[in-house]
């Protein structure tokens, strides 16, 4: 009986190690499920938008959607989540630009036909290229609001830490990617296995620009308690909007658009004082 129990235990351990090895090897495809479908022309999707090319500091040319702001008006630099592409978010972008704001929606390396492979460091370089492009259009940092969605919240935060933009919007932020993964794979040693940390909680205390955090209590992708932890750790000035409507990917469409627009208007008014 003891022999069979030992064999069973060995089999369980072996299966566990195989699964852990699989998750380690496949982690990039799980963290970055990049959509390979080429981007659609934004002109037919977002009024006044066009396709532009961003030049990253490590030598990549990546695509983005750009709609200029009204003279002196705000512009959002949008950094999307880990799935889909900026084309799959075109309806959302159309809503954003209806409010009169400009938009630069950055498509990441390795997504939608862009060269390169996605990584935490690479996405930060992509966002920096977007910021340089906007500034090259003659748009001041005081007009720029960084908008991070899901995975992109960490990228937006890191960009805001390096550049004194007008403000930062975090749509469903997480503490770390490892914490999110642990909530899905509670029996796996996720923290030591992950190569791309995306540590938002460890960085947010250094923020020096106004912050808006948006979350829904119905989020089944990022535990809403993680979004609250990010907000609680952030310094002032900050505000949080919590809803019991919508889903992880529909915060803007279920009341968040008005909240975000009010936030942008408020920080824009303060910048003019």
Residue 232 located in a structural domain: yes
pTM score of the predicted model:
0.90
One DSSP character per residue, 85-122 reads -SGGGHHHHHHHHHTT-EEEEEPPTTSTT-SS---HHH
Q: Which domain holds residue 265?
A: 32-271
User: pLDDT band for position 96 (50/70/90)?
Assistant: very high
Residue 102 located in a structural domain: yes
pLDDT at position 193 is 65
Residue 22 located in a structural domain: no
Return the minimum-mean-pLDDT range out of 80-89, 122-131, 179-188. 179-188
Cβ atoms 112, 88 nearer than 8 A: no
CA distance 187 to 235: 34
Is residue 271 over pLDDT 70?
A: no
The dihedrals phi and psi of 55, each to the nearest 5 degrees, come to -115, 115
Residue 119 located in a structural domain: yes
Q: What share of the chain is helix, strand, coil (3-state, %, to 5)?
A: 45, 20, 40
The dihedrals phi and psi of 144, each to the nearest 5 degrees, come to -100, 130
Instruction: Count up the domains in the chain and report the number.
Output: 1
Mean pLDDT of 184-189: 64
Enumerate residues 6+ apart whose C-beta is below 8 A from 272.
Answer: none
Task: Report the DSSP pairing between strands 61-67 and 50-55.
Answer: antiparallel
Residue 238 located in a structural domain: yes
User: pLDDT band for position 3 (50/70/90)?
Assistant: low
Check residues 14 and 63 and name the one with the higher pLDDT.
63
Residue 131 located in a structural domain: yes
Is residue 273 over pLDDT 90?
A: no
User: pLDDT band for position 17 (50/70/90)?
Assistant: very low
Cβ atoms 137, 72 nearer than 8 A: no
Is residue 255 over pLDDT 90?
A: yes
The CATH number linked to 167 is 3.40.50.1820
Mean residue pLDDT across the chain: 89
Residue 113 located in a structural domain: yes
Preceding omega of 237 cis (within 30 degrees of 0) = yes
Residue 167 located in a structural domain: yes
Mean pLDDT of 74-85: 96
């Amino acid at each position: 009986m003891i022999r069979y129990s030992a064999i069973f235990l060995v089999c369980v351990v072996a299966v566990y190690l195989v699964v852990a090895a699989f998750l380690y090897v496949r982690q990039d495809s799980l963290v970055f499920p990049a959509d390979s479908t080429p981007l659609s022309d934004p002109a037919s999707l977002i009024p006044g938008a066009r396709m532009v090319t961003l030049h990253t500091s490590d030598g990549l040319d990546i695509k983005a959607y750009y709609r200029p702001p009204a003279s002196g008006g705000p512009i959002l630099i949008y950094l999307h989540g880990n799935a889909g592409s900026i084309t799959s978010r075109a309806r959302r972008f159309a809503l954003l630009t209806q409010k009169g704001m400009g938009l630069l929606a950055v498509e990441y390396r390795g997504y939608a036909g862009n060269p390169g492979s996605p990584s935490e460091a690479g996405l930060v370089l992509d966002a920096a290229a977007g910021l340089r492009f906007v500034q090259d259009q003659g748009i001041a940092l005081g007009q720029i609001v960084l908008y991070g969605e899901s995975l992109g919240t960490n990228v937006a935060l890191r960009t805001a830490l390096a550049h004194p933009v007008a403000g930062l919007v975090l749509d469903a932020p997480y503490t770390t990617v490892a914490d999110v993964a642990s909530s899905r794979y509670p029996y796996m040693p996720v923290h030591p296995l992950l190569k791309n940390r995306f540590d938002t909680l460890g960085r947010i205390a250094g923020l020096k620009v106004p912050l808006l955090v948006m979350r829904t209590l119905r989020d089944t992708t990022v535990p809403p308690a993680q979004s609250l932890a990010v907000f609680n750790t952030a310094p002032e000035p900050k505000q949080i909007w919590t809803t019991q409507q919508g889903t992880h990917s529909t915060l803007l469409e279920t009341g968040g658009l008005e909240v975000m627009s009010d936030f942008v208007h408020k920080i824009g008014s303060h910048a003019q004082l």
